[in-house]
Amino acid sequence: MTSQKTILRALARETLPTPPIWMMRQAGRYLPEYKATRAQAGDFLSLCYSPDLAAEVTLQPIRRYGFDAAILFADILLLPQALGADLWFVTGEGPRLSTITTADELAALKPAADVNDHLSPIYETIKILSKELPSETTLIGFAGSPWTVATYMIAGQGTPDQAPAHALKDENRAVFDGLIDVITEGTIVYLSTQIEAGAEVIKLFDSWAGSLHGDDFQRYSIEPMRKITAALKAAYPHVPIIAFPRGAGDKYTDLHAAIGADCIAFDDGVSADWVAKNVQTGGCVQGNLASSHMVTGGNALVAETRKIVDALSGGPHIFNLGHGITPDADPANVQLMIDTVRGG
């Protein structure tokens, strides 16, 4: 029953005595069972596109820790690949893509309506998870937000300051805007089909929102998320949406209304006390333990976890990290965090 799912209750603005908890990148390289399944798949993309194996790594942290939600195992760059970009991963370095920087390259991308053929294995993973997850565990689908996805498509890889995307935005606004529009429309199709397959909550990750300044933050981070949220809400009004414009700082204020999201996730660059006063008044919030605590553990982890829980205890809150867990994390520290949240 959905009424038993604590994540959905928090997203419906219920203040719970113990906040529900999940963790960004909870299925990943810090877990030995993940490494074994990854080796079985052969490479990262093969793992993403193998529904049985992708479902397995999604389920692994649920079995080990009993998180209140599972997040689909996939990657934000599968959508660019579905739109026609070449995508590959370099061991130890990360993703590489063919670049989109000209009008001809933009025009060569596939229509947004055509992404589903390529992404059908992802939907099959969701269907498997809908059957295999415990009845109390919420299934979260996700996508990268258009600005963040565009930064990779323009540069062909991750960059420390998103400089290639900023340069294209400044030098060829027509191509840049066109790319944002294509990604936005493709994301709507992608997330709609995730919902049809069984995703109960959607999360939008704008990992590089913090590098947008002035009017660009509103135009290229918030507005695309608002468009996607509005389209999903029109078709699936019962499905909650979590928006995560990482690095927004004091611009986190009023984003529930600006985006139309049910929950705003926040990073560890702002304090939980500040969020309680300036963001939680608008609805559910999610965050924000620094992921470094998953490496260092100890009393500092316990103290900071309790501080966050206490600060946000007056309203709807989903406990999470301020960003994804890192590969050097100690699985025992994850358990300590969970025990602290649930045990006081």
Fill in the DSSP letter of residue 50: -
CB atoms near residue 2 (< 10 Å): 12
- Residue 122 and residue 199: Cα distance in Å, rounded? 11
Q: How far is CA 129 from CA 72, 143, 267, 313, 344, in A?
A: 8, 17, 28, 31, 31
Which of these is catalytic: 9, 25, 226, 246?
A: 25
Contacts of 209 (CB under 8 A, 6+ apart): 145, 147, 148, 217, 221, 245, 246, 247, 248
Distance CA 87, CA 89 (A): 7
**Does the annotation mark 38 as catalytic?**
yes
Helix (H, G, I), strand (E, B) or coil at 98: coil
Could you tell me if 225 and 175 are in contact, meaning their C-beta atoms sit under 8 angstroms apart? no
Which residue has tokens 């947008």?
212
Crossing angle of helices 115-132 and 173-197, rounded to 10°: 40
- Choose, from 75, 206, 267, 268, the residue flagged as catalytic: 75
Catalytic residue among 152, 190, 220, 252: 152
Q: Cα separations (Å) of 25 from 72, 101, 209, 258?
A: 10, 30, 19, 27
Active site residue 152: yes
Is 25 annotated as catalytic?
yes
Which residues carry out catalysis?
25, 29, 38, 75, 152
